[in-house]
Amino acid sequence: MAADDKRPVRIFGSDQTPPKYYLEDGKARGYAFDIALEALRRIGRQGSPEAIPWARALQNSRDGLGIIVGFSRTAQREVDYLYTNYPMFIDPVLLVYRSGDPQFANWFPTLPKQRVAVSRGARYCPTYNRDIAEASTVLETPDGAHRLNLLVRQRVDIAVFSGGKTTVETAAARAGIALQEITISPQPICLDPNYIGIGRSMPGGEALRDALDIALEEMERDGSIDKIKAPYLDDR
């Protein structure tokens, strides 16, 4: 075994996107971290999760300091990153708007020509990436609570969330916003597979990617991924 194989693999994710990944009482938490830890365990490696600002997670993983989890795949990112071929999970990308907003009374919201609040540095599926380019205004925020505050204060028309209804509800609770004030569009704009990303500069990155692929496929097949996610997605 190479010396590097004895070191814990650093696992980078956001500190502001519960329940997928977040910081709580100084500890990295979230189902994306837990899935990655289990995948590493299955290939005989240890992991060290770090919940940090997303821009720093991107930079650290791009520099080959560790892996990044809950990571959407884009052509631009593939220049710098290897991806597992097998996803960790698939996120619905949801649009949230003010309850009773008259402009959405007769149809579901879409991003073009709207004022939109999004997660800082977020890239999702091709449909989202195409439509967000046509929004009239795009405000990037550090977390979901900020996005919902902008929404209810009428600074934006739509807030974008990846991760499902629980992610929106968690953000509303953190912002002190009643769920009656907001409406989640019943259909996601798209379904966004989330992968493990490995910077192309990381030594041994291809071998690690291939091993993690096998582990993720096994975990999906035996139900481990759903079991890991379940406690985080229970109704609160």
Cβ atoms within 10 Å, residue 89:
21
Give 30-71 pLDDT, tens digit per residue.
999 999 999 999 999 999 999 999 999 999 999 999 999 999
Give 118-151 pLDDT, tens digit per residue.
998 888 988 899 999 999 999 999 999 999 999 9
Same domain, residue pair 51 and 163: no
In the predicted structure, residue 218 carries a pLDDT above the cut 80: yes
**ω into 19 cis (within 30 of 0):** yes
110: its two tokens:
């879409």
Same domain, residue pair 19 and 134: no
Give the pTM: 0.90
In the predicted structure, residue 4 carries a pLDDT above the cut 70: no
Same domain, residue pair 170 and 200: no
| Token pair 């590493």: residue | 40
Give 166-208 pLDDT, tens digit per residue.
999 999 999 999 999 999 998 899 999 999 999 999 999 999 9
Angle between helices 31-42 and 205-222 (to 10 degrees): 110
47: its two tokens:
């992991």
User: Structural domain tally of the chain?
Assistant: 2
pLDDT above 70 covers a percentage of the chain that reads 97
Same domain, residue pair 147 and 61: no
pLDDT at res. 1: 37
Same domain, residue pair 84 and 197: yes
Q: 108 and 196 in contact (C-beta within 8 Å)?
A: no
CATH (domain of 153): 3.40.190.10
Domain that holds residue 120: 91-190
Q: H-type helices in the chain, by residue range?
A: 31-42, 54-62, 126-132, 144-152, 165-175, 205-222, 224-233
| Token pair 């798209």: residue | 190
Same domain, residue pair 136 and 180: yes
Same domain, residue pair 153 and 209: no
